[in-house]
A and B are shown apart, each in its own frame.
Chain A
Amino acid sequence: MSLITRNLCRTLVQGSQHVSKGLHTSAVNSEKNVCFAPLSISSLQTSKEGRIKCTLIPGDGVGPELVYSVQEVFKATSIPVDFESFFFSEVNPTLSAPLEDVVSSIARNKISTPDFSHTGELQTLNMKLRNALDLYANVVHVKSLPNVKCRHTDVDCIIIREQTEGEYSALEHESVPGVVECLKIITAAKSERIAKFAFDYAVKMRRKKVTAVHKANIMKLGDGLFLRSCEEMAKLYPRIQFEKMIVDNCTMQMVSNPNQFDVMVTPNLYGNIVDNLASGLVGGAGVVAGASYSADCAVFEQGARHIFSGAVGKNIANPTAMLLCSANLLSHVNLHSYADMIKNAINKVLKDGKVRTKDLGGQSTTKDFTNAIIHCLA
C-alpha cells in the first residue's frame, strides 16, 4: 500500500526545492509571474511530498505523441513524478516489453498512464494487462468542457464498468461448424465488487444517484445476477438514490437527455458502448479521461480507447484527455494543487478558444495545444 508513496518524504527537502525551481522557470516562460507566485506558495504548503514513481505506457497509435505532451507539461511545472516508461505494443509485438515486466512495474509503482488498444488475438494485451493486475473497475468521467461545441451542455456523468468478466471472458468456440458460442460470464463476487465500487465512488465524489445498466429482461440469469447484486449493495447506501435502466433505453436516454444521469454502473460490454457513446456526446475520444482501478493499483487512460492510427506523426491528436488523465493521477497521489493547476490550464485554453485541435474544429497542432497549456499553467 504505502508503496504508492514509497519515496515520499525521503526526498522531502529535495521535492520542495523542485517546486521552487519550477516556480522560477515557469514564471519566466509564461510572463505571468504575478499571479503564478501566490499559487505556488500555496502549493508548497499543501504538497511537500517527495517524488512519486509512475509507470508510463505510451502504447500504439498517437499514444506516444500524447504522452510526450503530458511529459512536457510535467516538466514545465516540475511536478515531482518520475516516469518509468515501457514500450508495450500490440502492433509491434517483437519490440514490445514483456507483459510480466509491465505488470510488475505497475504493481510496484501502483499507478500508471497507459494509452493503447488494438485488436489482434483472442485476448488482447489490454485485457491481459487488466486481468493480470485485476483492474476490475473502469471509470470514465464524461464532462462537458467549456467551449467545446456539442448538442448537449452540462453533461456530467460517471460511467463505471466491470472489465474483467462478462462478454470479455475471451471464451469462444465453434461447437459445430457454423455455430460459434461466446460465453458471457457473470459472477456474484465480481458483480458485488463493481456495485460496491460504484457506490463508494459515488460517495467519494458526493454524487446523488447510481443507475445500473442491464438487459435483465432478456438475460434473466446473467444480467439478473448483476442487477440483484447492485440492488443488494444499494441497501447499504440509503442516502444515494438507486435506479436501473435497460441498456437500449439507456443509450436512447443518453443521447436525448444525458443530464439525467449521475453515476452509472454497467457490466463489461454495455459499459464499453455507453462509454463511447457518452464520450461522443461531449467532444470525442480526445477529451474524455478514464481510469481503471484494482484494489491496489490505478491505471489512468483515455475514456474511449482508440489508437487513432490515422493521425500518427501528423501532430493533430488532441492531448486534452491525456492531460486530464494526468491531472486525475496527480489527485490520486494527493498532489491536488498540481492537478488543479493542470485542469485550470485546460479549461482556460479551451475557454479562450484560440488554440484548438482539429477534432474540435480548430487548426492547431498537438504541440501548439501543449504549449498553450504550459503558458496557462498558473
Chain B
Amino acid sequence: MAVRLLSKVKCLPGIQGVVYASGAAAPAQLSDFELQHKTPVIRKQKNIPIAQYGGRHAVTMLPGGGIGPECMGYVREIFKYIGAPIDFELVNIDPNVDNDDDVQYAITTIKRNGVGLKGNIETKSEAAYVTSRNVALRNELDMYAYVLNCKSFPGVSTRHKDIDIVIIRQNTEGEYAMLEHESVRGVIESMKVVTASNSERVARFAFEFAKRNGRKKVTTVHKANIMKLSDGLFLETSRRLAQEYPDIEHNDMIIDNCCMQLVARPHQFDVMLMTNLYGSIVSNVVCGLLGGAGLLSGRNYGDNYAVFEPGTRNTGTAIAGKNIANPIAMINASVDMLEHLGHHYHAGLIRRALDKTINTDRVLTPDCGGTASSSEVVDSIMQNIGRC
C-alpha cells in the first residue's frame, strides 16, 4: 500500500504522503511487512482526513472470535441507548481462512477511520507463513504503545485492594518480530529485535503519559542482566529519557523479580514500562490480581491510529454463546474509545453506570464471583445510565 501511495504522491505535490523520518528513499517492491521491519526509517502513515462528519465518528468494529461478537452486541446496545454519535463499520474476519484479505481490509478501514474497537481475532492456522492477525494488525498500523489501566474495582473481591497501575508495553517489536527460522535441523532461532528508535518512542510515550496524568513514578521492566544488549538498549533508552523528566521518579526492575513483587506488594508500582513479551505476561498477571480477564480494557496507540480492546487478549471461545462472558472489558474499551474521540459526556454516562453496577449493585458475572448472566449485567448498566 505504502509503495503504491508513494508512486502517486510524486505526481501530486499537494498531498503529503509517506513521511520520511530521515530523508531515506523508499525501496521499491517491498511488502508492507518488509517495509515495516526492514526500513525502520520510513514511517508509512499517510495523512488521511479523519472520519468525523456532523459530529459523528465512524469507527471500525472488529468483533473477532469467541465472545467478541456478543460483547460487541452489548456495546452497540448501550451506544444506541445513550445515543452515542458513533457509526460502526463492522468488519468480520473469518478465522478459518488462510489468506489475509479480511485482515488487510480491516487494517485499511482502521487507516481511514483512525479508530478501531476490537475483540480478539483468532488465528486458527498454525502454518508458519500465517502470522498472528493481532500482531499483523498492530505492526501494520505501527501502534507501538499499548496502555493498560489497572485500577481495582472495590466491588470485586480480590487479595489486594486499591491497586492503581498503568502498564505501558512496546507493542510492535521485541519477541513479536515474528522472525524465526531453523538454521540447522533441530535448531530454531527466534529473533528478538529491539531498536533504539522504537524504544525511545515508547519510553517517551510512558513519561509523557506519566506527566500528563499526574503520575509519580515510572518503572522500567527488563532482563538486561541476561540480554545485555537488547534489553540493555531498552533500559538505557528509558534511563536517558528519564533525565528529561526530573519530576518523575524512575527505577527499573528485572522481570522475574517484578512478577514476584506484583503479586506480593503491588502498591509500589505506578507506571510500568516494558518490552513486548514482558508486557504480555505482566498485564495478564495484573489482570489476574484485579479479578480476571473480563474487566480491564487496553489501548493501542500509534502516531495516527488508536485501537481499543479488552485488556487480556483471550478469545474466550469456550464460554462463547453461553451468556456468562463478562461484558465489562469490552464496555470499558468502548468507553476508552469515546474518551479518545472526545465524547466525554457519553463516556462519563457509561463510566458512572458501570461503576455503580460493579461496585455498588455488585451485579457481576461468575468469573468475578457473581451470579449474574452477561445480559443481566448489561441490563443493570443500562438501568443505571442517567441515574447516577
Chain A residues proximal to chain B, CB less than 8 Å: 1-6, 8-10, 12, 46-49, 110-111, 137, 187-189, 192-193, 196-197, 199-201, 203-204, 225, 228-229, 231-232, 235-239, 291, 293-298, 332-335
Cα(A297)–Cα(B5), bound, Å: 31
B129 at the interface (CB under 8 A from A): no
Contact of A5 among B5, B85, B113 (CB under 8 A): B85
Q: With contacts defined as CB atoms under 8 Å apart, how many contacts are there between chain A and chain B in the complex?
A: 119
Taking CB atoms and an 8 Å cut-off, the chain B residues in 355-388 that contact chain A are 385-386
A236 and B52: CB pair below 8 A? no
A225 nearest CB neighbor, chain B only: B14
Q: Does B351 contact A (CB under 8 A)?
A: no
Do residues B49 and A193 form an inter-chain contact, with CB atoms below 8 A?
A: yes
Are B80 and A46 closer than 8 Å at their CB atoms? yes
**Chain B residue at smallest Cβ distance from A195:** B49
Across the interface, B89 reaches (CB within 8 A) one of A1, A203, A236, namely A203
CB of B245 within 8 Å of the partner chain: no
Within 8 A of A (CB), among B229-282: none
Provide the bound-state CA to CA distance between A289 and B120, in Å. Answer: 41
Give A197 to B58 CA distance when docked, in angstroms. 11
B interface with A by C-beta (< 8 Å): 1, 4-5, 8, 11-12, 14-15, 48-56, 58, 80-85, 87, 89, 105, 108, 111-113, 341-346, 349, 385-386
In this complex, what residue of B is CB-closest to A188? B14
| Closest A residue by C-beta to B348 | A2
B4 touches A235 (CB 8 A): yes
Q: Is the CB of B55 within 8 A of A1?
A: yes
Give, as a whole number of angstroms, the nearest-CB distance from A50 to chain B.
8
A236 touches B346 (CB 8 A): no
The chain B residue with its CB closest to the CB of A50 is B386
B15 touching A232 by the CB < 8 A rule?
yes
A-side contacts of B1, CB under 8 Å: 235
Q: How far is the CA of A187 from the CA of B14 in the complex (A)?
A: 8
From A4, A12, A193, give the contact of B85 (CB < 8 A).
A4
Q: Using Cβ atoms and an 8 Å threshold, which residues of chain B touch A298? A: 53-55
Question: Are A192 and B55 closer than 8 Å at their CB atoms?
Answer: no
* Cross-chain contact B83 with A333 (CB below 8 angstroms): yes
Give the chain B neighbours of A225 by CB distance below 8 A.
12, 14
Please indicate the chain B residues that have their CB under 8 angstroms from the CB of A199 in the complex: 112
A6 and B12 CA atoms in complex are apart in Å by 42
Contact (A293, B53) CB under 8 Å given A5-B345, A237-B112, A238-B108: yes
Residue of A whose beta carbon sits closest to that of B1 = A235
